[in-house]
Structure 1
Amino acid sequence: MISTPDPFVADISDDAAWAGLAWSSDRHVEPVRIGFTTGPLPTVDWAVLGERCDVVYADPDAEGVHRAVIGAGEPEVAARRLADHVADNPQAATTLAAVLRTGTQVSVRQALDIESWAYSTLLGGDEFAAWLTRRGPRPLPPAPRVAPVTVDRDAGRLTIGLNRPERRNAFGAALRDALVEALDVAVLDDTVTEVHLRGAGPVFCAGGDLDEFGTTPDPVLAHFVRTAGGAGVRIAEIADRTTAFLHGACVGAGIELPGLAGRVVVDPGVAIRLPEVSMGLIPGAGGTVGIPRRIGRWRAFHLAVTGVAVGAETALRWGLADEIADVVPVDVSARGTGPRTT
């Protein structure tokens, strides 16, 4: 019987442990590999170590050595805590590690497909079913009272505003479809030279609308919605023209989609988090594609499996953000129910 292997935790300063980090052709499923070092950085080939490990914890001063390294006050404690998170949702965490290893080796479009296939598989898994049971039944969200996305055109600049502040701009079906329609304007019209992506209300986007989770009748159809009908592939296509302005909570899709943009500006009070693994899933809106291309697959794995929130300074230091500046939420108070062009 094939089962999800336990995570492998190793002190990278120990020669035997270092040898144990090598990939094995005997395993059907490769385990998550977590390294740590509690003393001075050992003399190792960091390029090779980066290939062998899914994350390495070390002294905070060591973060600049390689993007695999994450600073921690107690590296061994951090490593074993991560292993506990992996053990809580082994299918999702092990799948995420494999997706990140593979997705960073192919094109953005191919990586989005890989992510979606894996996400669809996990929708039918035991871990997601257990999360749904713990959450309990939820009513479907109400239909939007006004346009869930606003569109303003000013010469070559297109400003797209997420406009469901009453639901913290949760990325549900109505908002997703409206966002795709707005993005298609820039995809099809090359006179749009700038695309600004903003949010209305106190947060940019609180992630997927949890009231809609588990309602997909067909995982195969959901795959095509996430890819061919999704916002991520469109943002990636116009990345060189797109700037995302983030404020407040940026959870799940609220950082996954901006991570595909060419430039990301974050407010000093921003809080970024990837919670999907704790739900038995992986990021499914492009988070395994754009985020690791910005910060490395190792830090992306750390964020997604621990679910820890990071602020503006860490986002800038790691490269998830390009600038810290005061971000003013898009003003939609005077707008009607449809797009406006100026």
Structure 2
Amino acid sequence: MGTHWSVQVENRVAVVTISNPPANALSKHVLEELSESLTALENDPAVKVVIITGEGRFFIAGADIKEFTHMDGADGKAAAERGQRLFDRLETFPKPIIAAINGACLGGGLELAMACHIRLAAAEAKLGLPELNLGLIPGYGGTQRLPRLVGRGRATQMILTSEMIGGEEACRIGLAEAVYPAEQLLDEAKKLAYAISEKSAVTMKLALEAVHGSATLPLDEGLAREAALFGQAFQTQDVKEGVAAFLEKRKPKFSDL
């Protein structure tokens, strides 16, 4: 992986940790390294589930503000488009990605977390989109993903006030799926990842594609996509094994286990 991203694989689960002191900021170089890491993880048959977390007290505290000092309008648009493409890749990644939000998760950090498939937060975490404090707006998808997760009104309030919320509140409004004490967070993320990793990789990929359609397609098109993917599942060996295991009252042995 890159110099700012480390990876540890255990039981088919990759824990990817950002380390870019002091606040794990997302510089252009750090984002490029993340893209390279995603390519390696996608192509690694030993990895079925990915956890992204931060080193130290921070998850990711945002973009590298120093890079903004020499940017004009065209530069800003290009930077936003690069970040959006990368986070779109996270959202459509063929393997489940869990964000373990261990600390400050602000700006681009929250935008990254919102692009992950599942978010778990430490109670001590702080989540928010403070870009308006800098005279900016969120640019890596925050204005689009936050309303889809918490509702338009709550998202508008958070964006316009630059409000930071804790893990408990993030869970209450649907920005996180669960909240844990910081010292338990990574272990709980691993437990969830291990449970998911027992499923068939090929059908997990189909399920992720179907769920993503719920956010991007009208209902009738989403249902058509689901039916097509349901049919694809029947073309795999894993459906035969899964059905046989159910009827024989045993645990399935999917092709990638």
Please give the TM-score of this superposition, normalised by the length of structure 2.
Answer: 0.64
Local SS of the residue matching 1:310 = strand
Match of 2:17 in 1: 161
Sequence identity, in percent? 29
CA distance in 1, matches of 2:159, 2:59: 19
Q: What is the letter of the counterpart of residue 237 of structure 1?
A: T
Match of 2:4 in 1: 148
Q: Select 2:82's aligned residue among 206, 225, 233.
A: 225
Contact 1:315–1:321 (CA<8 Å) still a contact in 2?
A: yes
Q: What is the letter of the counterpart of residue 35 of structure 2?
A: V
2:35 matched to 1:180? yes
Q: What is the letter of the counterpart of residue 62 of structure 2?
A: G
2:130 matched to 1:275? yes
CA distance in 1, matches of 2:94, 2:163: 27
CA distance in 2, matches of 1:300, 1:188: 35
CA distance in 2, matches of 1:183, 1:298: 33
Q: What is the letter of the counterpart of residue 27 of structure 2?
A: G
Q: Select 1:323's aligned residue among 175, 178, 183.
A: 178
CA distance in 2, matches of 1:175, 1:206: 13
Residues 294 and 158 of structure 1: is their aligned pair in 2 closer, same or farther, counting only changes over 3 Å? same
Once the two structures are TM-superposed, the CA of residue 239 in structure 1 deviates from its matched residue by 7.6
CA distance in 1, matches of 2:125, 2:94: 22
- Paired positions, count: 182
2:102 matched to 1:247? yes
Local SS of the residue matching 1:257 = helix
Contact 1:172–1:209 (CA<8 Å) still a contact in 2?
A: yes
Over aligned residues, Cα RMSD in angstroms? 2.3
Contact 2:122–2:179 (CA<8 Å) still a contact in 1?
A: yes
Residues 192 and 293 of structure 1: is their aligned pair in 2 closer, same or farther, counting only changes over 3 Å? farther
Once the two structures are TM-superposed, the CA of residue 279 in structure 1 deviates from its matched residue by 2.1
Contact 1:205–1:253 (CA<8 Å) still a contact in 2?
A: yes
Once the two structures are TM-superposed, the CA of residue 295 in structure 1 deviates from its matched residue by 0.6
CA distance in 1, matches of 2:29, 2:10: 25
Match of 1:213 in 2: 68
- Structure 1: runs of 5+ lacking an equivalent: 1-145, 331-342
Once the two structures are TM-superposed, the CA of residue 223 in structure 1 deviates from its matched residue by 4.5
Larger mean Cα displacement after TM superposition, 243-252 or 320-329 = 320-329
Contact 2:100–2:121 (CA<8 Å) still a contact in 1?
A: yes
Q: Compare CA radii of gyration and give the structure with the larger one.
A: 1
- Structure 2: runs of 5+ lacking an equivalent: 187-257
Once the two structures are TM-superposed, the CA of residue 315 in structure 1 deviates from its matched residue by 0.6
Residues 266 and 215 of structure 1: is their aligned pair in 2 closer, same or farther, counting only changes over 3 Å? same
Once the two structures are TM-superposed, the CA of residue 278 in structure 1 deviates from its matched residue by 2.7
CA displacement 1:76-134 (0-9 Å, x = unmatched): xxxxxxxxxxxxxxxxxxxxxxxxxxxxxxxxxxxxxxxxxxxxxxxxxxxxxxxxxxx
CA distance in 2, matches of 1:240, 1:210: 31
Residues 186 and 296 of structure 1: is their aligned pair in 2 closer, same or farther, counting only changes over 3 Å? farther
Residues 318 and 240 of structure 1: is their aligned pair in 2 closer, same or farther, counting only changes over 3 Å? farther
1:26-105 equivalences in 2 (<5 Å):
none
Q: What is the letter of the counterpart of residue 140 of structure 2?
A: A
Contact 2:5–2:18 (CA<8 Å) still a contact in 1?
A: yes
